[in-house]
Amino acid sequence: MATSGTAEPTRRDFLYLATGAMGAVGAAALAWPFISQLQPDASVLAMSSTEVDLTQVAEGQIVTVKWRGKPVFVWNRTPEDIAKAKATALSALMDPVARNANLAADAPATDENRAAEGAGREKWLVVIGICTHLGCVPIGHSGEYDGWFCPCHGSEYDSAGRVRRGPAPENLAIPPYKFVSDTKISIG
Amino acid sequence: MSGHSTFEPKHPALKWFESRLPLVGLLHSSFVSYPTPRNLNYWWTFGGILSLMLVCQIATGVVLVMHYTPHASMAFDSVEHIMRDVSYGWLLRYMHANGASMFFIAVYIHMFRGLYYGSYKAPREVLWILGCIIYLLMMATAFMGYVLPWGQMSFWGATVITNLFSAFPVVGPTIVEWLWGGFSVDNATLNRFFSLHYLLPFMIAGVVVLHVWALHVVGQNNPTGVEPKSEKDTVPFTPYATIKDGFGMVCFLIFFAWFLFYIPNYLGHADNYIPANPLVTPAHIVPEWYYLPFYAMLRAVPSKLGGVLTMFSAIIVLFFVPWLDTSKVRSGRYRPLFKQFFWIWIAVCIGLGWLGSKPAEGGYVIAGRILTVWYFAHFLIVLPLLGLFEKPKAVPASITEAVLGKNKGGAPASAGVSAPQTKG
Amino acid sequence: MSTTMSFRSFLLRPLAACALVLGIGFAPALAAEGAPHPPREDWSFAGPFGKYDRAQLQRGFQVFKEVCSSCHSAHLLAFRNLAQEGGPQFSEAQAKAVAESYQVQDGPNDAGDMFDRPGRLSDHWPSPFPNEQAARASNGGAYPPDFSTLAKARTYEVGFPGFLIDILLQYQEQGPDYIHALLNGYKDPPEGFSLPEGAHYNEFFPGHAIKMPQPISEGQVTYSDGSPETVEQYSHDVTAFMMWVAEPHLEARKRLGFQVMIFLIIFAGLLYFTKKKVWKSVEH
């Protein structure tokens, strides 16, 4: 404040401080709606789940469906694919965590924890088709590990969607999904 | 009170910067040490309030655009999407919609203050004209903004206002088609209005910079209309004007919040919650309240072109006020007759506004004609003649004299610590 | 002084003429409007601390679902809204059950066909007609308006000075007043009123000839909470529901408004005293 106080400096200083603090609080509170509006809105948050009819996916085939604007790969794996994934030791993995939204956050990245749960369902692999490096969509049935190969920066994934060669840091994420019948899953 | 010094940076880094771009010095001389007449009343806080409203409109507008879809088939629903689904969307949208009205309330008070105290008189003609340009830009911006929700009033307001241009002979119909980008108000119209509605506020901001620049060249007018003669007549802008403006702004925000939170649709039209329908016109087409006086003038004239010209002239005449007012005395405070005519003119403007909201029939039209004539007569006859015939009251020699006179010659100006407080 | 006097009379004359003309102007305008003003109802959501009555919204929803929605759409209402805060606040399970009781068109599937499936929370209320033309064709040429914003899209003229008093009273429930009055406004046409074919006489409808037949009658909807099953009660409930559909964040708005007001008033007080302190030594 430009004026030099002569009388009762403490009371005046308190008044100035209180007013200034009040103004700062008001400005901060006013900023909140402008920031808050950036978050996904209610209609996006409530966006519906996606259902996939598994009878349309032949053995060995990978289909891509859209869920929340993102590609999700549904792979009907052959017994060889499964065997290869099961044979891989956890110690050989770059990312030993399952990254499965349906399991605990620290579940190990075994094939059991990556594939669909339940008897006769282990051939199904459902992963979000976004490379964990910088968000490109990897190409299926390619790369050295017979899983996915990301054309952007060369990351490779195996037949359980686990990252085997960098620069991607994590396994392909598994979205929340459940079997609504033996031949139908609902993602989200 | 010797705070009129120029800015001298002390920190070496700031010194280094100032010698390359004297930005802080400019801000300091414009908003800290800038000498402000000591006798400004609360009507002078509306300049600051208007700056606040401009910032509010631009900030909320930029954010609303993040969720709005400018398409004839999606605009209405996207506005409702903002109202329903976006976090605090209802707040931002109501702020923007009511903020426009608040902006106009403030600008009208600001203009009336200028007219009452003669703030348009030499040497402030350019300052006044820049203000008139801002007002014109505001009207264009607000009009196009009202079209964006694509409700019934949006659509039919756009139709009626763009059709005004069809009144011009020969080129009229072509101008209208070019405004529309088609043969009626449609998606192309909505898109160009959206584009311009985003552009114009930044042009307003540009002219506001010129307006403030011009203000700081000639200095502020004050209630006495007497130019500051010595340092005793002024106080530094900060803290004196800033704290007073701040108080004025917060009081204005209380008024704003009353509408925003409790009656947010009061200043709008119910019909605009009906999606635009090009096949059905609402029973009563009424523009936003801030256009009503001009709308009344438009309808007062029985010819199409005449009505349009009258309406535009009502704004253009404002540009010439500095030369139409022939009085040697600046402030209305010392002009007994002018004072009366000023208030009559205010009543005429309000009356025109009320008539603008009424159907164009019978007595309303006749009253509209009388008031329209009076509106123009005020500028074209009353103001020039008053300067010749009116006998003004004695004008004080200086601001300080006026202030001390009001306080019955109390303590000297700068030492009056215990002087009784007077109203702001 | 003589100049002053002549100026005064010069300006008084047109003003008097003005007043005369305005006085004349009133009469035909009022007569032209004809329809009586809807009475003002006592709405729980009116006023600075207004809130929706949950039970009333739930009853209103029942009326909408069982009666209105067979002709009127509400395409901006999503099933999830039924469970959201500030609304009827059904439980999520209840909202889900409502959604699932409706068939919603989805698709195209992998074969390229559209198909129907049970509704989900994210779906919007399905419209009774596929488009406006179909709605008109089924309703004698009249289009049953969409409920999404209808309660805010209806009003009546308050006139001077009422419209200024409403600012102070914070009254903006003209839409609900009108809708409530309309639902109770069905009458036999007065003698000499020629009712067009397929229209019904309503006291509050502009022009009085409305295409919608009286939509609800006593006992038509069975309430489970023991509220009276009268047209008066039904119309109150469904109007409140319509207001919520049109303004779902009304409660949040008024709540935040109160906080902001308190803040601003305290802040203004502090600024006032700060300003007084700053200006203390300067006469102005």
Q: Range with the lowest mean pLDDT among B314-323, B407-416, C46-55, C167-176?
A: B407-416
Q: DSSP letter for B233, please.
A: G
Using CA atoms in the order A56, A59, A63, A65, what is the torsion angle rounded to 10 degrees? 60
Q: Do A34 and B59 touch (CB under 8 A)?
A: yes
d(CA B80, CA C81): 14
Q: In this predicted structure, what is the pLDDT of residue A180? A: 86
Q: Which two tokens stand for residue B326?
A: 């022939």
Q: CB B92 to CB A33 under 8 A? A: yes
Residue B160, SS3 per DSSP: helix
Q: Is A41 on the interface with B (CB under 8 A)?
A: yes
Contact between A76 and A59 under an 8 Å Cβ cutoff? The reply is yes
Q: Please give the full DSSP string across C152-169, using - where no structure is assigned.
A: GS------TTHHHHHHHH
Query: What radius of gyration, in Å, describes the C-alpha atoms of chain A?
Result: 26
Neighbours of chain A (3+ CB pairs under 8 A): B, C
| Residue A92 pLDDT | 86
Closest Cβ–Cβ partner in B254, B403, B407 for C265: B254
Q: Among B53, B116, B63, B51, which Cα is nearest to B340's? A: B116
Asked whether residue A5 is assigned to any structural domain, the reply reads no
CB contacts under 8 A, B 56-95 vs A, are 59, 63, 66-67, 81, 84-89, 91-92
Which residues in A lie closer than 8 A to residue B63 (C-beta atoms)?
34, 37
Interface test with C, best of A3, A11, A52, A65 (most C CBs within 10 A): A3
Read off the pLDDT of each residue in B279-301 and give the average, rounded to a whole number. Answer: 92
The sign one gets for the Cα dihedral B330, B333, B336, B342 is positive
Write the pLDDT tens digit of every residue in B3-27: 445 678 889 999 999 999 999 999 9
Is residue A68 domain-resident? Answer: yes
Specify whether A110 is located in the same domain as A129: yes
A122 in any annotated domain: yes
- pLDDT for B382 equals 96
Q: What's the CA gap between C80 and C78, in Å, rounded?
A: 5
- The verdict on B415 touching A (C-beta cutoff 8 Å) is no
Judged by a CB distance cut-off of 8 A, whether residue A37 touches chain B is yes
A32 and A87 together in one domain: no
Interface of C with A (CB under 8 A): 78, 80, 84, 110, 120-123, 263, 266-267, 270-271, 273-274, 277-278, 281
Q: Please give the pLDDT value at position A106.
A: 87
Question: A45 to chain C: nearest residue by CA?
Answer: C122
Cis amide prior to B123 (ω within 30 degrees)? yes
- Catalytic annotation, residues of A: 153
What is the C-alpha to C-alpha distance for residues B360 and B368, in angstroms, rounded to an integer?
9
- Selecting from B87, B236, B238 the residue whose C-beta is nearest the C-beta of A36 gives B87
What is the arithmetic mean of pLDDT over B175-182? 95
In degrees and rounded to multiples of 5, residue B172 shows phi and psi of -50, -60
Alpha-carbon distance of C74 to C242, in angstroms, equals 9
Neighbours of chain B (3+ CB pairs under 8 A): A, C
All residues at 6 or more sequence positions from C5 whose CB lies less than 8 Å from its CB, including other chains? none
pLDDT classification of B423: cutoffs 50, 70, 90 = very low
pLDDT for res B392: 94
Residues with Cβ within 8 Å of B177's Cβ and at least 6 positions away in sequence, in order, are B183
Contact B363 C175 (CB under 8 A): no
Which B residues, 109 through 168, put their C-beta within 8 Å of a C-beta on chain A? none
Give the nearest partner residue to B85 out of A2, A23, A42, using CB atoms: A42
Q: Which amino acid is at B284?
A: H
CB-count exposure of residue C70 (10 Å: 0-12, 13-18, 19+): exposed
Give which of A125, A91, A121 is closest to A108, Cα–Cα.
A91
CATH label of the domain that carries residue A160: 2.102.10.10
Q: What pLDDT shows up at residue B6?
A: 67
Please determine, for residue A168, whether its predicted confidence score (pLDDT) is greater than 70.
yes
Structural domains counted in chain A: 2
Does A42 contact B236 at a Cβ distance shorter than 8 Å? no
Cβ-nearest to C267 among A12, A22, A49: A22
Q: What DSSP state is assigned to residue A133?
A: T
Taking 70 as the pLDDT cut, the residues of chain C under it are 1-34
Question: Which residues in chain A have Cβ-Cβ distances shorter than 8 Å to B238?
Answer: 2
User: C24 and B362 in contact by Cβ < 8 A?
Assistant: yes
- Please name the member of C15, C175, C284 whose beta carbon is closest to the beta carbon of B38: C284
A126 & A179 share domain: yes
Contact indicator for B270, B339 with CB cutoff of 8 Å: no
- Inter-chain CB proximity C281 and A43 less than 8 Å: no
Same domain, A22 and A77: no
pLDDT, average across residues B298-315: 93
Residue B342 is predicted with a pLDDT of 97
Q: Which residue of B has its CA nearest to A22?
A: B250
Report CA-CA distances (Å) from C104 to B48, C116, C122, C125: 54, 5, 11, 9
Q: Where are the alpha helices (DSSP H) in chain C?
A: 2-33, 54-66, 92-100, 132-138, 162-169, 174-183, 231-246, 250-278
**Where is average pLDDT lowest: A3-17, B89-103, B186-200, B340-354?**
A3-17
Average pLDDT over residues B343-359: 95
Distance CA A88, CA A80 (A): 13
* Mean pLDDT of all residues belonging to chain A: 87
- Shared domain for A31 and A66, answered yes or no, is no
In order of their start, the domains of chain B are 37-285 (1.20.810.10), 292-390 (no CATH)
Asked if A169 and A103 sit in the same domain, the reply is yes
The whole-model pTM stands at 0.88
Q: Is residue A54 included in any domain, yes or no?
A: yes
Cβ C227 vs Cβ C74: under 8 Å:
no
C-alpha span between B291 and B108 (Å, rounded): 12
Please say if the pLDDT value at position B68 is more than 80.
Answer: yes
Q: Do A19 and C267 touch (CB under 8 A)?
A: yes
- Phi first, then psi: give them for residue B395, nearest 5 degrees: -95, 135
Query: Nearest CB to C110: which of A16, A26, A56?
Result: A56
Confidence label for A9 from pLDDT (cuts 50, 70 and 90): low
Report d(CA C53, CA B417) in Å as an integer. Answer: 57
What is the average pLDDT across B134-156?
96
Which of B4, B84, B260 is most worth mutating to test chain C (most C CB atoms within 10 A of its CB)? B84
Highest mean pLDDT among A23-27, A115-119, C15-19, C32-36: A23-27
Are residues A54 and A24 part of one domain? no
Q: What angle do CA B2, B7, B11 make, to 5 degrees?
A: 125
Residue with tokens 């004007």: B241
pLDDT of B244 reads: 96
Asked if residue A45 belongs to a domain, the reply is: no
**Where does C67-146 have alpha helices with state H?**
92-100, 132-138
* Residues of C whose CB is below 8 A from A33: none
Q: How far apart are CA B257 and CA C87, in angstroms?
A: 24
Domain holding A33, by residue range, is 10-39
Please indicate, yes or no, if residue A124 is contained in any of the structural domains: yes
Cα torsion B108, B112, B115, B120: sign: negative
Angle, CA B217 vertex, CA B213 and CA B223 arms, to 5° = 100
Which region holds residue C240: left if phi is over 0, alpha if psi is between -120 and 50, else beta? alpha
Please check whether residue A156 is in contact with residue A149, taking contact to mean a CB–CB distance below 8 angstroms.
Answer: yes
Q: Are residues A148 and A171 in the same domain?
A: yes
C68 HSE (CA, 13 A, CB side): 26
- Cβ-Cβ contacts under 8 Å, C153 against chain B: 270-274
Shortest CA gap A184–chain C (Å): 14
- B96-100, B220-224, C140-144, C280-284: lowest mean pLDDT where? C280-284
For residues C176-199, b (16+ Cβ closer than 10 Å) or e, as one string? bbbbbbbbbbbeeeeeeeeeeeeb
Judged by CB atoms closer than 8 Å, whether chains meet at C28 and B363 is answered as: yes
Tell if the CB–CB gap between A6 and B63 is shorter than 8 Å. no
Same-domain status, A139 and A164: yes
pLDDT per residue as tens digits for the range A57-105: 888 899 998 888 899 999 999 999 899 888 888 888 899 898 998 888 8
Q: Are C29 and B359 an interchain contact pair (Cβ–Cβ within 8 Å)?
A: yes
Structure tokens at A132: 């964990």
- With contact defined as beta carbons under 8 Å apart, do B311 and B297 qualify? yes
A34 touches chain B (CB under 8 A): yes
Predicted pLDDT at B398: 93
- Note whether B60 and B95 are within 8 A (CB): yes
Confidence band (pLDDT; 50, 70, 90) for A45? confident
CB contact under 8 A, C24 and B264: no
Residue A40 CA: distances (Å) to CA of B89, B99, C216: 12, 26, 40
* A70 belongs to a structural domain: yes
Pairing mode of beta strands A139-142, A124-128: unpaired
B424, pLDDT greater than 70:
no
Residues A97 and A30 occupy one common structural domain: no
List, as one string, the DSSP characters of B162-203: HHGGGGSTTTHHHHHHHHHTSSSS-HHHHHHHHHHHHHHHHH
Q: Which residues of B are annotated as a binding site for heme b?
A: 96, 110, 197, 211
Segment B114-125, tens digit of pLDDT: 999 999 999 999
Q: How far apart are CA B143 and CA B154, in angstroms?
A: 9
Write down the pLDDT at residue C175: 96
Q: Answer whether residue A2 is part of any domain.
A: no
- Nearest Cβ partner for A41 among B3, B86, B91: B86
Among the ranges given (A102-106, B42-46, B420-424), the one the predictor scored with the smallest mean pLDDT: B420-424
| C-chain residues near A26 (CB < 8 A) | 263, 267
Q: Under 8 Å CB-to-CB from B347, ≥6 apart: which residues?
A: none
3-state helix, strand, coil in chain C (%, to 5): 50, 5, 45
User: Whole-number mean pLDDT of chain B?
Assistant: 92
Residue pointed to by tokens 């209320």: C125
What's the CA gap between B32 and C92, in Å, rounded? Answer: 57
Q: How far is B319 from chain C (nearest CA, A)?
A: 25
**DSSP code, position B249:** H
Residues A35 and A69 in one domain: no
Residues of chain A contacting residue B239, judged by C-beta atoms under 8 Å apart: 1-3
- Rounded to the nearest angstrom, the minimum Cα separation between B3 and chain A is 8
Bigger pLDDT: B419 or C251? Answer: C251
In this structure, the answer to whether residues A89 and A119 fall within a common structural domain is yes
